[in-house]
Amino acid sequence: MKSLAELQAIKERTLKNMSARNDSEDATRVVVGMATCGIAAGARPVMNAFTEEIARRSLKGVTVSQTGCIGMCQYEPIVEVFVPGQEKVTYVQMSVEKVAKVVNDHIVNGNIVTEYTVGAVAK
């Protein structure tokens, strides 16, 4: 960082990313399991990818947060998506590469990506 303009740009990027993490009752919530098992399986990059993809698309009414153990360590990283008025969807064995599809198909277009869900993997 060599100038005040660079510092201001960093601040703006950070605030934009943080706005995707603010909580609201009417918002679609993306919750990433960040217990030790989740972090070891790669949950942190997955959470960052969700935050970045939502910010990149300038999606309003979508928040990203973290939680502790979800209880299915063998399926980590786990991401739960809560859409108001609908049942929770649990995505398992998530990766950074899968994030854009979940955001596009489920969060934007309302179509659950069934091949990434716990029901598809547990069979």
User: Which pLDDT band holds residue 56 (cuts at 50, 70, 90)?
Assistant: very high
Report the C-alpha gap between 74 and 85 in whole angstroms: 29
- What mean pLDDT do residues 90-97 have? 97
Q: How many CB atoms lie within 10 A of CB 28?
A: 20
User: Which pLDDT band holds residue 123 (cuts at 50, 70, 90)?
Assistant: low
**Quick check: 92 pLDDT over 60?**
yes
* Mean pLDDT (the chain, rounded): 88
Tokens 């939502």 -> residue: 54
* Structure confidence at residue 7 (pLDDT): 79
The CATH topology of domain 4-122 is Glutaredoxin (3.40.30)
How far separated are the first and last CA of the chain, in Å rounded?
Answer: 51
- What mean pLDDT do residues 70-85 have? 94
- What mean pLDDT do residues 35-57 have? 96
- What mean pLDDT do residues 93-122 have? 93
**Quick check: 81 pLDDT over 70?**
yes
